Homo-oligomer: A and B are copies of this chain.
Amino acid sequence: MDFFNVVTIDKANEIIMNNFFDYKFEVEIVDILDAANRILAEDVISDINVPDFNRSTVDGYSIIVEDSHGATGSIPTILTKIGEVRMGERAQGDIITGQAMYTPTGGMIPSNASGVIMIENTELMDDETLLIYKPISNGENMVFRGDDIKKGQVALRKGRKIDLGAIGVLASLGISKVKVFKKPKFYIISTGDEIIDLDEKASLGKIRDINSYALYSMIEKMGCQVVDRTIVKDDYDLLRLEVEKGVDLADIVLLSGGSSVGTRDYTEKVIASFGSKGVLLHGLAIKPGKPTIIGEANGKLIVGLPGHPVSSIIVFKTIIEEYLRQKLGNTEILPQVKAITEYNFPSSPGKRTYHMVQLREEDGTYHASPSFGKSGMITLLSKSQGYIVIKEHEEGINKGEERVVYLL
| Partner-B contacts on A (CB < 8 A) | 32-33, 36-37, 48, 50-53, 55, 57, 59, 85-91, 104-108, 143, 147-149, 156, 163-176, 192-195, 198-199, 202-210, 213-214, 216-218, 220-221, 234, 260-262, 307, 309, 313, 333, 335-338, 359, 364, 366, 373-379, 381-385, 404, 407-408
Other-chain residue from B91, B175, B193, B213 in contact with A198 (beta carbon distance below 8 A): B175
Min Cβ gap A16→B in Å is: 23
Contacts of A313 in B (CB 8 A): 164
Contacts of A375 in B (CB 8 A): 57, 143
What copy number does this chain have within its complex? 2
User: What are 26 A-B pairs with beta-carbon distances under 8 A?
Assistant: A55-B376, A57-B374, A90-B205, A105-B261, A105-B307, A106-B307, A143-B374, A148-B373, A148-B377, A149-B378, A164-B218, A165-B382, A168-B381, A169-B379, A171-B198, A171-B208, A171-B210, A171-B214, A173-B208, A174-B198, A333-B385, A333-B407, A336-B336, A337-B337, A337-B338, A338-B338
Determine if B374 and A168 form an interchain contact, defined as CB atoms under 8 angstroms apart: no
Contacts of A262 in B (CB 8 A): 87, 104
Closest residue on chain B to residue A32 by CB atoms: B213
Min Cβ gap A102→B in Å is: 12
Other-chain residue from B156, B170, B377, B383 in contact with A213 (beta carbon distance below 8 A): B170
Determine if A213 and B165 form an interchain contact, defined as CB atoms under 8 angstroms apart: no
